[in-house]
Structure 1
């Protein structure tokens, strides 16, 4: 790349030397006229007239006077007043998190029944699909990690919805899902979606009315005057925290979750085949680069050889 730049510079220098004196004068005048017309805006240093000022260490030097030390003392006092976590507590929490998530890490503990990238068996993907009839045990255990883990899993959210229906509070999760759909929906449908959510969950006498505090309701009603996709975030957060602190712990202690955990599928480990002739044939690559090689191999394997004569025994 640098050789190309040097070659172009030499060619331009050679062409400039071969020009006549009048042509060189015209080119110089054209260049000066161009920069007079396209000069930098006011306040911006021009590299053709003056070089940019270099930063000086002495100009940025702070005076060590009484005001400076007063600011330092005040900053240290505020730092001492902050709540900090001890290193022992943070390390203990880190170890607890690692031990909890270690069985669910396919790199640390492996994946059952087998790694599909190695064995060419897609059973692992089929058992961990977004919608399955019987989830695996590791998948059900992850629902107890956090409320967010439960909501991110479509199967876990469906079972949580069934639990809320038994407690006559399914409208809370339905409202949370409606707010999520509003946030990620199209811009043209935002006013209609906001009005539909309000009429179904927040309006007086609504069919599936949700219970939110008066302050959040006032803020939401004020935002409904100019509806946008984030107008229901405060109400959604209130319902989210209500389910997290009230319904989610009861779901983990319920017989429904214990039954799901007991009936969850534990996939058996796939045994490796001992004999090479029992291995599954690998799928050939559709790459065009391999087609000529395969074609030549077929010709060589044909009886009679490339010449068409009978092959030797």
Structure 2
């Protein structure tokens, strides 16, 4: 019979903390009754031709004993229970690595019916993997194993056979055959509940505190006070903030970064030669002349179509955007946004006066250039203006920015104003290119690249 403490606990006591110990103790109790000299399963030595198999019993003996002593009426249930116990290594077949119980004359708890040093395929693969992992220390490991084998040879022959079969069963449990269930793995959920018992609900088992306190497998759970109303409100706010967070898959993030890189590649001087060239590197002064004339190049106009931020951060883009909105008599939103940006850069002593001017022009009742903001932003801004600061119009500015992004900016890109501006820059570029060709042909110089 398998020793009852072989698989239920380890020498360092780590397994005693395992959540499976409750199951192990119950199975060990059954095994203890099986080993009883009077009422247990009869263990005998079976004689075969020219050999003896010591300390064995048949699978049918196990099934019959369970039906008689465990109050089991169904033979299938007894066979199922025995298979579960065999899977944990408490008894094992002599000729098969698959730990299961068969209701027949199969012998259990004895040596394997094969050559001593013969390894199964999966065992040979595991040995080769260990040899690769411990290649530097393999000679030392082999010497230790050889020394233990010499000590083992000094034991009695029958005892040595029994210990060999027990060791084989031990590894069948802890390193099972591929395709079999590993019963020694600890459930992560059970381990977590054992480490944090105060988080386990006391009503799970439907028992009262005084009943559970007498159980040796449960520790008394301290009383936990319920959360206060303020804590619940804070938790609700926290989860609402988590819902508002943007969460994207890594594949989508990588795709967005690649798209952004490809879009701005022609504006990166490390990949594309800038037009006009950098005046600090070359002798070309076209960039200074272009800045003075306030005439944007084709690349500059094309970049405005990437997003509203590209228009607002470019001074020429803001001017062109403002001209378009003035032509549609809807420039108050952009003028308000620019005025708020300008307030943030003013000296602190000028901020209160400028805040009042913006309020009177855009938000006060009867303002000459009234803007359309929602009631929440308006109420927040009204409170901020009473104590004017650089960021008094922050909420209203954000609301206006979203309106321009969804409405005014889209109309700007679709308008003939922007398309003519883009086509005009293309024509100027083509004209300059032809002019360079004519000059080169007249002077006999080579064409620029």
Shorter chain as denominator, the TM-score bin is: 0.5 to 0.7
Tell me the residue number matched to 2:255.
92
TM-score (norm 1): 0.58
1:144 match: secondary structure: helix
Query: Aligned runs of 1:1-313 on 2, under 5 Å?
Result: 66-67=195-196, 84-127=247-290, 129=291, 132-264=293-425, 265-266=428-429, 268=433
Residues in 2 aligned to 1:68 and 1:123: alpha-carbon distance in whole angstroms:
75
Residues in 2 aligned to 1:235 and 1:120: alpha-carbon distance in whole angstroms:
47
CA contact (8 A) 1:112 1:268 kept: no
Residues in 2 aligned to 1:201 and 1:136: alpha-carbon distance in whole angstroms:
34
Task: Kindly provide the CA deviation profile for residues 5-62 of structure 1, in whole angstroms up to 9, marking residues without a partner as x.
Answer: xxxxxxxxxxxxxxxxxxxxxxxxxxxxxxxxxxxxxxxxxxxxxxxxxxxxxxxxxx
1:118 match: secondary structure: coil
Residues in 1 aligned to 2:335 and 2:388: alpha-carbon distance in whole angstroms:
20
Q: Report the more deviating stretch, 116-125 or 234-243.
A: 116-125
Offset of residue 112 of structure 1: 2.1
CA contact (8 A) 1:113 1:268 kept: no
Residues in 2 aligned to 1:234 and 1:126: alpha-carbon distance in whole angstroms:
40
Residues in 2 aligned to 1:112 and 1:180: alpha-carbon distance in whole angstroms:
30
Task: Kindly provide the CA deviation profile for residues 35-94 of structure 1, in whole angstroms up to 9, marking residues without a partner as x.
Answer: xxxxxxxxxxxxxxxxxxxxxxxxxxxx996229969xxxxxx9xx98742333222222
Residues in 2 aligned to 1:236 and 1:251: alpha-carbon distance in whole angstroms:
20
Offset of residue 114 of structure 1: 3.0
Offset of residue 148 of structure 1: 0.8
1:177 match: secondary structure: helix
Offset of residue 228 of structure 1: 1.1
Residues in 2 aligned to 1:94 and 1:70: alpha-carbon distance in whole angstroms:
42
Residues in 2 aligned to 1:158 and 1:186: alpha-carbon distance in whole angstroms:
25
Residues in 2 aligned to 1:96 and 1:140: alpha-carbon distance in whole angstroms:
20
Query: Structure 1: 5+ residue runs without aligned partners?
Result: 1-62, 72-77, 279-313
Query: Structure 2: 5+ residue runs without aligned partners?
Result: 1-191, 201-238
Residues in 1 aligned to 2:198 and 2:299: alpha-carbon distance in whole angstroms:
57
2:404 match: secondary structure: helix
Residues 184/133 of structure 1: CA separation in 2 closer, same or farther (3 Å cut): closer
Task: Kindly provide the CA deviation profile for residues 146-192 of structure 1, in whole angstroms up to 9, marking residues without a partner as x.
Answer: 11110011111111111111222101111111111111111111111
Length, aligned pairs only: 201
Larger radius of gyration: 2
Residues 261/68 of structure 1: CA separation in 2 closer, same or farther (3 Å cut): farther
2:251 match: secondary structure: helix
Residues 218/66 of structure 1: CA separation in 2 closer, same or farther (3 Å cut): same
TM-score (norm 2): 0.41
CA contact (8 A) 2:193 2:199 kept: no
CA contact (8 A) 1:190 1:227 kept: yes
CA contact (8 A) 1:200 1:206 kept: yes
Residues 95/160 of structure 1: CA separation in 2 closer, same or farther (3 Å cut): same
Q: Relative contact order, CA 8 A, sep 6+: which one is greater?
A: 1
Residues in 1 aligned to 2:336 and 2:197: alpha-carbon distance in whole angstroms:
54
RMSD: 3.0
Residues in 2 aligned to 1:132 and 1:156: alpha-carbon distance in whole angstroms:
14
Residues 114/231 of structure 1: CA separation in 2 closer, same or farther (3 Å cut): closer
Task: Kindly provide the CA deviation profile for residues 216-239 of structure 1, in whole angstroms up to 9, marking residues without a partner as x.
Answer: 111111111111111111111111
